Amino acid sequence: MKLSMKSTRRIALLVLLLSSAISIFWGLAIGRTPDGRTLDFQAVYYGTRCLLEHHNPYKVSELQACYRADGGDSPLQSERHRRTVVLYVNLPPTFLFIAPLALMPWAPAEAIWLSIIVAAFLLGALLMWRLGESYAPGVAFFLVCIVLANSEVVFAGGNTAGIVVALCIIAVWCFLKERFVSAGILCLAVGLAVKPHDAGLVWLYFLLAGGVYRKRALQAFLITAVLCVSAFLWVSHVAPHWIQDWSANMATISAPGGINEPGPTSVTGRTAGMVIDLQAAVAVFRDDPRIYNPVSYLVCGSLLLLWSITTLRSRFSQSRAMFALAAVVPLTMLITYHRPYDAKLLLLAVPACAMLWAEGAPVRWLALLVTTAGVFFTGEVPLALLVILNNSLNVDSTGIFGKMLEVMLIRPASLALLAMAIFYMWVYVRRALPDKRSGSKQAENLVATAG
């Protein structure tokens, strides 16, 4: 007996929730360890408490004193754990959103924050599932399942990316579905204020798309500007020299061997929480920022320029918007510093892949392959397994072939993201070509009529 569409959807929803439960409970279990304890949320929580107590959170000594006074420091924690908390690098607008929680004791603040991340992230994932389901239910279900089952670090660390990614996805859904548009504008504005390197290119798409979407992008930017100015004034009042301290912290974590350094010598370079930008792959061959930065900027800049020109010259449609976002989201991850939890923004590519699958052309298999590779190799579980495999194989990376093998084993996320960006860029540009041909034909007709 065939199941009805309603029953099938309920079963799919149940499986999706079970997939998310794997990540949620596993992630929370990791977060309960002495060296876990929602490390990323600790940084913003104690940083905000430090500011509320009229101290400079960007000054390591002042934040460390606040951290210890509040009982956050523990002998069981590693040095990397402590330095991650006290080397504060989040932008000032984050303080505005964490301040209500920072007024609370740690336990309730942590519980509320994680509950918000779980709710927002699940909502964003389900919205993309429903959007893709209208084209190809099986493909949308498959891809969202992979993402939800491999999001442990989102919940273990409590990073603000969990909420920013969700807010970007919700904003896109609101704009494309023309529902709750004001809420979408606010979501995009908050995401842009807290993590501009996550939300920036999504916002740029709507700015370049023109019409009512440009108006919404400008409205979101105005809200972001108000939030940023308010936060900057607050921090500058408490700590007039915070910019110099922030710059020093950024230099420390980005230096060779630092937490955010993309090269293989980074503290997190051989963990499931590795940096996944293009620099991380290029650095395997030449671990020198004078090499891997220009190479990455040249590749990503060329793709971004092509994407921008295509967006400006093509008329807006929901389908083109999906392909534009599917192209620019992996590019977002490649241009600059990002980690696997940021890559959950790839959920925005699910509707585009489902649409290509529904069209039935041979290219649908390539779409499914590159999209699956993108969401799979940016997942925490596959990356952790590859790290274990590489350690057990003890690959010799001294020669060129050894380095190529190391990139495939340790930096597959960067390669998968690059393949995904190039593929969807190709699809997006091809979809925009009919506009140009149509415009040329109309011009020819006008000339003929005038003659």
Across the chain, mean pLDDT equals 89
Q: At residue 122, does pLDDT exceed 90?
A: yes
Q: At residue 449, does pLDDT exceed 70?
A: no
| Residue whose pair of structure tokens reads 């370079």 in the numeric block | 269
Q: Where are the beta strands (DSSP E) in 25-68?
A: none
Annotate 145-208 with DSSP letters as a single string.
HHHHHT-HHHHHH--THHHHHHHHHHHHHHHHHTSSHHHHHHHHHHHHHH-HHHHHHHHHHHHH
* Amino acid at residue number 277: D
Q: At residue 217, does pLDDT exceed 90?
A: yes
Q: Which range among 77-81, 159-163, 282-286 shows the weakest confidence by mean pLDDT?
A: 77-81
| 350 vs 329: CA distance, rounded Å | 11
pLDDT at 410: 83
Closest among 327, 333, 321, 15 to 161, alpha carbons compared:
333
Q: Which range among 160-169, 234-243, 261-270, 372-381 shows the weakest confidence by mean pLDDT?
A: 261-270
The answer to whether residues 16 and 145 touch, using CB atoms and an 8 Å cutoff, is: yes
User: What is the band of 3 on the pLDDT scale with cuts at 50, 70, 90?
Assistant: low
Longest distance between any two alpha carbons in the chain, whole Å? 87
The answer to whether residues 340 and 379 touch, using CB atoms and an 8 Å cutoff, is: yes
* Amino acid at residue number 163: I
pLDDT at 233: 97
Residues in the chain: 451
Is the dihedral angle over the CA atoms 135, 138, 123, 224 positive or is it negative?
negative
Residues 6+ apart with CB under 8 A from 362: none
The answer to whether residues 83 and 61 touch, using CB atoms and an 8 Å cutoff, is: no
| 443 vs 451: CA distance, rounded Å | 12
Q: Which pTM was predicted?
A: 0.92
pLDDT at 441: 45
pLDDT at 254: 86
Tell me the average pLDDT across 33-47. 81
| 109 vs 43: CA distance, rounded Å | 13
Which SS3 state, helix, strand or coil, does residue 411 take?
A: coil
State the DSSP H helix or E strand holding residue 287, giving kind and residue range, or none if neither: none
The answer to whether residues 92 and 235 touch, using CB atoms and an 8 Å cutoff, is: yes
Closest among 102, 91, 101, 88 to 53, alpha carbons compared:
102
pLDDT tens-digit series, residues 12-25: 899 999 999 999 99
Annotate 229-257 with DSSP letters as a single string.
HHHHHHHHHH-TTHHHHHHHHHHHHHSTT
pLDDT at 72: 66
Residues 6+ apart with CB under 8 A from 297: 335
| 326 vs 421: CA distance, rounded Å | 8
Higher pLDDT, 403 or 314: 314
